[in-house]
Structure 1
Amino acid sequence: MALAVYSLSYLTLLEYDISYDENILYFIFFATITGYNFVKYFGIAKFHHRSLTNWLKAIQVFSLFSFILMLYYVSQLHTNTLFYILIFALITFLYAIPFLPKRFFLDGQHNLRTISGLKIYLIALVWSGVTVFIPLINNDYYINTDVVITAAQLYVFVLVLMLPFEIRDLRYDSLKLSTVPQKIGVKQTKMLGVLLLSVFFILEFFKNETSSATKIFILIGILTLTAMLVLFAKKEQCKYYSAFWVEGLPILWLILVLYFN
C-alpha cells in the first residue's frame, strides 16, 4: 500500500513536470506505513504490550522505525506543507481513535471507521489529498483547475480500487457497515466501478493542459485493467487478488509512465 501511495504521488509530480522530490515522496511512503499500521492494529494492540504476539511486536517495531523516518522527512518539508499534512493526519487519527458519543456509531469503537457507509469515502479523500495536493503544495505549485480535476480523478480511482476489497469482505463485514456491495449488490457494485472509471477518463478532457497520446494510451490501459479486476472480483478471492493485484495497479501505472517517458 505504501508503494501504491508513493506511486500515485510520483505520478502527480510527473504530470505537472516537477522534479523528483525525495523528501515529500519518502515522507508519504513512511507516513503511509505508519498511518496504515496505526489504523489496522490500534484496536488489537492498544496498550497491552506484554500480551502481544511476536508478529504484532515485529509490526510495532517496524512501524516505529517508519515513524522515525517519517519524522525526519517531515522536518525537511516546507513549513506551509505541514498545515495540510496535519489535516490529513487528523482525519487518519480520528479514523481509528474513539472520540464521539456512542449514538453516532455501530459498536463500541466510536471512531470514524465505524460510521455506516463512510469508510471508503474517507480513505479516498485522504489518498487523493495526500497524493495530489501535498506534493504540489510542497513544490509551491499553484492549485489551479487542472489540479482539482486530478484530485477528483484520484478520488474516483481510489473508490474503484476499494470495491474489490468490499466485495471480498462481504463474508466478514457486519451488515451495519452499509458497504457499497451490501447496499446495492455485487453486480451493481461492479457496474458502478465501470461507470466511475468512465467518469475518470472523461474528466481528463476537461483539463486545460492537453494530454499526450502516450499518456492517454497508458491511461486507457490502466483503466481497462482496473475495470477487468473489478468485474472479475468475487467474495471467494485468492489471497493476493485484492491485496496484490488491485493494490499494485498504481505501481504498474508509474512503471509504464516512467518507461514510455
Structure 2
Amino acid sequence: MNTVDNVLELESLGNIQCFSEQNRNRLLVTMKERALPEGSHLFWEGDLADKLYYVKQGRIKLTKTTDEGKELILYMYHPGDLIGHADPFISSNHSYSAEVLESSVVGVIENKDLELLVCQHCDFAIDFMKWMGVHHRITQTKFRDLMMYGKPGALCSTLIRLGNTYGQELADGSTLINKKITHTDLSNMIGATRESVNRMLSDLRKKEAIEYAGGLIVIKDLSMLQEICHCELCPKEICRI
C-alpha cells in the first residue's frame, strides 16, 4: 500500500464522514487553514475550547497528563478527522492537550460559525449530532477496553485498533501495522509501564498471536487478540486508535 492509498484509507475512516458531502463542503468553506510544524501543539490542557479543528494533513495526538507527570494517549487523529469538544456550545476548557506528531495542516472552525451553520441548516444539525454520537461511542469503547479486562485486554484491543487504522493485509492473511509504534507509545495508550508492555508483547509472540517484521508489528492471530479483550466487533470507524 503506497502513501496515497494510506492517506485515502485514513480519510475514509475520518469522523467527518458523519456529514453529507454538502455539509462537509459547508464546513470546508467556513474553516480557516493553519499549518503546524511537528512537535508543536494545537492546544493545551486548560485552553478555552472555542473552536473545532479539521485535520487536512498530518497526524495529531490528544494526551492527558496525570499529577505524577505520566502521559496517557487518548486519541490519534488523521486526515478526515474533526477534533474538539463534543459540546462546543457550552463554555468550557480543554481537558487534554493536542500535540502535532508530523507536519500538519488543519482547518479551524470558530464555534460562532459552527452555531450559525446549525441554526441555518437542519440537515447540518442532524449530521453534527451524528458526529457527537460517534465521538461518544469511541470514548465509551476505549474506556471499556482500559477498565474491564485488565492490561492484557487493553493491549490487545489497542493492537486491533492499530490494525484497523494502519493495517496492511499480507499474502498469508496476517495484518501488518504499517506505522512505527514504540513500546513507550503502547504503554502511554493503555496506562501501563513500558516494562509490563514488553512482557505482554513477549507473551503474545510466544503464543504466535503477533510477530515483528522490520521493526513493525504484524498481527498473526486476530481471533486470539479478540478473545483476550472480549471484542464486541465494533465497526472500524469506532474501533480505531
Q: Tell me if both proteins adopt one fold, taking TM over 0.5 as the criterion.
A: no
More strand by share: 2
The alignment's TM-score, normalised by the length of structure 1, stands at 0.30
* TM-score, normalised by the number of residues in structure 2: 0.32
Higher percent of residues as helix: 1
